[in-house]
Amino acid sequence: ANISKFHSAQVMQDISVETSPGVVCTQRMVPIADVGLYIPGGNSPLFSTVLMLAMPARIAGCKNVVMCTPAGKDGKVHPAILYAAWKCGVANIFKSGGAQAVAAMAYGTESVPRVSKIFGPGNRFVMEAKMQVNSDGVAIDMPAGPSEVMVVADAEADARFVASDFLSQAEHGPDSQSILLTTDAAFAERLPKVIDEMLATLPRQEMMKKSLSHSHIILLKDNDEVMDFVNDYAPEHLIINTVDADLLAERVENAGSVFLGPYSPESAGDYASGTNHTLPTSGYAKAYSGVNIDSFTKKITFQRLSKAGLEGIGKAVEAMAEAEDLMAHRLAVAVRLGDEYKRVPLLPILSKKGRFFFTTKPKKLKAKKRKYGIQSQRISATKHTFTCALQFGTQRIQRHCKCLARCQRKSIQWPIQPLPRPTSEAGERTLVGHKRCGCQPHISRQWQR
């Protein structure tokens, strides 16, 4: 119920804004039709992941939900996973795990339908498979690999609470990692003994010892160092078990999910608090969020313009299209407004320092000439040729661009870099080739003596 309540609250309403008279812009949330859910099952039957993925998919309104999960040693899918899927309305369930399950959902097989987006955590092989199919055009929720937790604790923290957080994380798998950050040396020295004592009472000790072997306890100078470390590491789970937890929480910039105070264990978020436990790992929390309703939807924008609305922004659109040399964009506005299509050339202004300015107004051109000491200017343009001649001081520049129409004017838009004074008798230097468009213009500089 908590999971459904929290995710239902995330559903956004459509947005409609009249940005200017006669121009109405709308944003509508649309569910992704075909989604695939990967449910890990190697070490434990993670039916909770079914709830964390299938329930938001149902709330978002996804039409086709495909689920892949590996079978147990008996060749069967655990009943808890099947029951959770049934409760969430998932009908397409396939016994397949690992990278091959990700590939099946990404590309489709005779039995497994192809999906548009794949969700779910897994080991490093599953994570790598998701990254590879993502580069091939299939969307993924996030890079979610081996699980991790970072605990921030002070001298007032209960060592048993922190030890249990370490052990619950180690239980995810041998490649999971736990890290403690503290500014209290005595607490850092006391914690390993408490972990060993509590570990002796639990099953799966061999696997958990492998996880603990690459876990760490780090002693730092002050809270500034602690929070810098947290934001640089970007943990999947962050537990702040300190007296001033709320103050430190305000400084969190990178984390998948944050647990505040001594009575907020990671386990609560894994199962029943309401937040989603499918979170970015391996530092990807710097750029990715955990799974939420937005993960299962697309936001499509719509715009409707009346003639008056187009007239209101038409001049700005035409000017911007002209500045980017996209004349068909300008034409699409001009023909709707009934304007005769006329190409108004931009007048390039070059200062003595080699900086370019553009204007379509002669008055501005004259002002720039006075400011930057330009003496004369000549511009001519045809469909395939654009020649710009500028003269200032004793230097004359002439550029000829004989390339396709798509780049007929680009040559003058590039800053002219000063060339060393030619040493030849003719006093002339010639360059061939553009750096950007690949055409073959002729560029020459002549020095008057």
Residues with catalytic function: 236-237
Separation between Cα atoms, residue 193 and residue 433, nearest integer Å: 71
Beta strands (DSSP E) in 155-215 are 177-182
Helices (H), 61-144: 79-87, 98-107, 124-135
Question: Is 175 strand, coil or helix?
Answer: coil
Joined together, the tokens standing for residue 7 give 């995710």
Which DSSP string do the residues of 355-374 spell out, in sequence order?
-EEEES-HHHHHHHHHHHT-
Q: Which residues contact 174 (CB under 8 A, 6 or more apart)?
A: 207, 210, 211
The DSSP H or E segment spanning 239 is: strand 237-241
Span between the terminal Cα atoms of the chain, in Å: 87
Structure tokens belonging to residue 352: 């003595």
CA atoms within 13 Å, Cβ hemisphere of 379? 14
- The closest alpha carbon to 78, from 54, 58, 49, belongs to 49
> How far apart are the C-alpha atoms of 151 and 181, rounded to whole Å?
6
C-alpha 234/C-alpha 256 separation (Å) is 8
Q: How many CA atoms lie within 13 A of 139 on its CB side?
A: 12
